[in-house]
Structure 1
């Protein structure tokens, strides 16, 4: 696996469509990225447009991972938009293409986000995960710890409520620079 990461790439029409296609593929493979399978691009587009608007406004940052020229992973580094929380960031829409899973792409993407957070002098990174999928174990291997749980906060379908698990990575920085 040889990944190349780009922070804040130009958000071209082509990249937007690649992100939507990735989002659809990840969701339809069972990924917990805001939807429940099955989805089509038309289902993802409204939330994707909101995400792109946050990126265009400069309040959120996009980290993409490429294997060669192929987009294989993304995550959003979200500004908290509240002055008392500028010393940490939220990671959203963490996803890698299903055919790259198990090869370390997700871990590499998260390590790059950690590297960026440390370079910015952040105190920590926060991510929420959908309970019931074992994602807590993945993040724990990367140094994240569970700091809270919202019971049955996510309703996937009638009778299928899942916990939203709050995970935190302490970076130990003490100056928010970005």
Structure 2
């Protein structure tokens, strides 16, 4: 797994856009409606570069040579009372790489990096009943509950979302 800096994110933006369009157009609910165009996905990833540069977002990729097979990010809040926590966002695995433990490795990478940065609490949301839920549960994440009609799936249908959290070992904040 490689953590991307701003320059690397911009360099890999086209590959990340391909992963995002494939994920959304394949039916996964990660914040976008289908059909998601390559141009929209590329603009979204390029728009994340400033957050990476500012330390508000950390992005990791898993690659097979030059091809991005998966990604995960941590979003860090900017408020003084919430620097101990982060949100896990955009965990995606290319359809051809699923079922081989890559999602679990990406999740573990983000968790280890969060711990190293002094983050003691992670949270995420995912579509209730999604294929991601067993991964989070088996990785020690605890469900808080579900919010009905929280987000539209890629087809535009409102779906419930389950919120999860995970406590991490407390360390001194380093970010």
Report TM bin, short chain.
Answer: 0.7 to 0.9
Q: TM-score, normalised by structure 2?
A: 0.88
Higher relative contact order (Cα pairs below 8 Å, separated by 6+ residues) = 2
CA shift at 1:137, angstroms?
1.8
Kept in 2: contact 1:132–1:162 (CA 8 A): no
How has the CA–CA distance of structure 1 residues 12 and 44 changed in structure 2, closer, same or farther, with 3 Å as cutoff? closer
Partner of 1:73: 70
Q: TM-score, normalised by structure 1?
A: 0.86
Partner of 2:151: 154
- Residues 111-145 of structure 1 show CA distances to partners (whole Å, capped at 9, x for unaligned) of 11111122222212111111232422221011111
Question: Are 1:118 and 2:115 counterparts?
Answer: yes
CA shift at 1:37, angstroms?
2.8
Partner Cα separation in structure 1 for residue 9 and residue 134 of structure 2: 35
How has the CA–CA distance of structure 1 residues 147 and 85 changed in structure 2, closer, same or farther, with 3 Å as cutoff? same
How has the CA–CA distance of structure 1 residues 66 and 42 changed in structure 2, closer, same or farther, with 3 Å as cutoff? same
Partner of 1:101: 98
CA shift at 1:171, angstroms?
0.5
User: Helix, strand or coil for the counterpart of 1:177?
Assistant: coil
Partner Cα separation in structure 1 for residue 132 and residue 33 of structure 2: 16
Kept in 2: contact 1:123–1:175 (CA 8 A): no
Question: Are 1:129 and 2:134 counterparts?
Answer: no
User: Helix, strand or coil for the counterpart of 2:50?
Assistant: helix
Q: 1:23 aligns with which of 17, 20, 23?
A: 20
Partner of 2:56: 59
Task: Give the aligned CA root-mean-square deviation in angstroms.
Answer: 1.9
Gaps of 5+ in 2: none
4+ residue runs over 4 A deviation: none
- Residues 64-100 of structure 1 show CA distances to partners (whole Å, capped at 9, x for unaligned) of 1123332111112111111111011111111111110
Partner Cα separation in structure 2 for residue 72 and residue 134 of structure 1: 17
User: Helix, strand or coil for the counterpart of 2:11?
Assistant: helix
Q: 2:3 aligns with which of 4, 7, 13?
A: 7
Gaps of 5+ in 1: none
CA shift at 1:44, angstroms?
2.0
